[in-house]
Amino acid sequence: MAVRQALGRGLQLGRALLLRFTAKPGPACDWGRVERPGPAACWGRAERRPGPAAAPGAQPRGLGLPDRYRFFRQSVAGLAARLQRQFVLRARGGAGPCGRAVFLALGLGLGLVEEKQAEGRLAASACQEIQAIFTQKNKQLLEPLNSRRWQGFQLEEYVIGRSIGKGCSAAVYEAMVPMVPQDPQRAGHLRLLTTRGPAVAPHGETEASATFPLAIKMMWNISAGSSSEAILNTMSQELVPASRAALAGAYGAVPYRRAKGGPKQLAPHPNIIRVFRAFTSSVPLLPGALVDYPDMLPPRLHPNGLGHGRTLFLVMKNYPCTLRQYLGTAAPSPRLATMMTLQLLEGVDHLVQQGIAHRDLKSDNILVELDAGPGGGCSGNSGAAALTCARPSADGCPWLVITDFGCCLADESIGLQLPFSSCYVDRGGNGCLMAPEVSTAHPGPGAVIDYSKADVWAVGAIAYEIFGLSNPFYSRGPAHLESRSYQEAQLPALPESVPADTRRLVRSLLQRKASKRPSARVAANVLHLQLWGEDILALKNLKLDQMVGWLLQQSAATLLAGRLAKKSCVETKLKMLFLAHLECEALCQAALLLHSWRAAP
């Protein structure tokens, strides 16, 4: 249909031009006096050039051509001007019809291309305006530690609760900032384990009425020494998602400036953890430390401890559970699972746009928030994580947040292209979910690992867990796959209840060749269109103006829903993210990908 329309426009333009140049010559346009950029100056209706007055009764300049030819007039500065001049010279010099036809066809073709480009520019401009509106809407709220009296840069300013968990490099505890002024009765229940240490809430109170909206991550310091500057530089990857105020330098914090070529600072995003405060302090004896990680303690706290006396502390929001814990107690529907996968793609796309690769994506490093209103509203009591995670949010879908950036690649000097000169270069964590281009890379002079689509591959593997199946790269036995050697045909099929477009997308994310995988932005747009754009996808001949009309409808509906509801539901927040990261080209790629899948047998 598009080719037929283009041919029809070409015939109309060609007929008008032939009528003009086969007519008797007159003073309508003085070809010998036309200056650059060419004779097209006298073809447009709106364009006027100073010059001698036309003879009485002469035809006004630019009449006799359709309005659509203004697109051809706009390209006079380049090839169109030269084609027009050559066409005019051949028309005046009596050149053969073949030569005139060639230049006429080229000129008409260029006019049609210019028309399509103008339509694309209008669509891109509309997308940019929509993006600007929703970028302001998606700005992060104020940090919870903004207080004149409680700055949050000392460990003594927090009340520490029970242990949330521990990994290979840190232990995480729930925490809170006491109310000011502090309740005397409550203060009597707090005890200090060290001379200058954090207040620790008794075990009974953490189970009863205490609410801990924060979490403190205590890094294990084995090799960084006890210098605050050395600790911050050695553990700089943990500071990538830190806010600007996290290292503002107050109350004992060491000023930390990222050197040129050092780690990047990640801009805020709703699907990525935010570090509110980061500081160094002496290692305290926290609850469960002697049992959970005695070897990581300094010798002053444990005789066989190997740790240094000072380490890094990170203050973040407290989330009820991880994605692995949530999926152990809940079975989301295919639609909710699709929205959960979409959130991971949105987070990964933000990382790629910032030139950062996480390199350790897994369900244990993804946190779940159940009350996903603007600004959080998490239940906060992580001690009953399993029971809390079983309770759905208002619209039934949890909010996912990517955390643990200890293995990330965030070097300003190299971006996402890691030089792989030797086998000692760190390729990241979690070897099971390491993309094929990373796991099969061979070190050598000039070797480079491209991480631009490595995290999106990991999202494809995690999608199996979200849709209720075991991760094929975790399982044991005949069904176990390895990223080094698997073939796409070996990937297990997702349940038939999962939409066909989603099944195809997950398989495309797990393509062995990175060049065949869609980018995180295109993949996210595919799910956005599948979830909320079924009407626009049903059109056989989808045009840019129709797509822009649909985007405007979505924008108006999203703004209205966000204003009427006290707390934005997950769907509204996802739509706002989609509109805030709107790119016309990526959206068209997603639409074409969906049309190709649906057209395939």
Exposed, middle or buried, 495 (CB in 10 Å: 0-12/13-18/19+)? Answer: exposed
Rounded Cα distance, 61 and 165, in Å: 79
Q: Is the dihedral of CA 235, 237, 238, 239 positive or negative?
A: positive
Residue 485's CB is within 10 A of a number of other CB atoms, namely 11
**Catalytic residue, candidates 67, 349, 360, 395:** 360
- Give the 3-state DSSP-derived string for 210-279, with helices as H, strands as E and coil as C: CCCCEEEEEECCCCCCCCHHHHHHHCHHHHCCECCCCCCCCCCCCCCCCCCCCECCCCCCCCECCECEEE
- Give the 3-state DSSP-derived string for 275-339, with helices as H, strands as E and coil as C: ECEEEEEECCCCCCHHHHCHHHCCCCCCCCCCCCCEEEEEEEECCCEEHHHHHHHCCCCHHHHHH
Rounded Cα distance, 459 and 353, in Å: 16
Which residue type does 20 have?
A: R
401's enclosing H/E stretch is strand 399-402
Hey, what long-range contacts does 490-495 have (CB within 8 A, 24 or more apart)? 492/464, 494/463, 494/464, 494/467, 494/469, 495/334, 495/467, 495/468, 495/469
Residue 66's CB is within 10 A of a number of other CB atoms, namely 11
* Token output for 73: 């007039």
Rounded Cα distance, 143 and 276, in Å: 7
Among 407, 505, 508, 502, smallest CA distance to 451 is for 407
360 has catalytic annotation: yes
Rounded Cα distance, 142 and 580, in Å: 19
CB-CB contact of 514 with 536 (8 Å): no
CB-CB contact of 448 with 417 (8 Å): yes
Helix 544-564 and helix 584-599, axial crossing angle in degrees, nearest 10: 110
Widest Cα–Cα separation across the chain: 109
> Which residues belong to the active site?
360
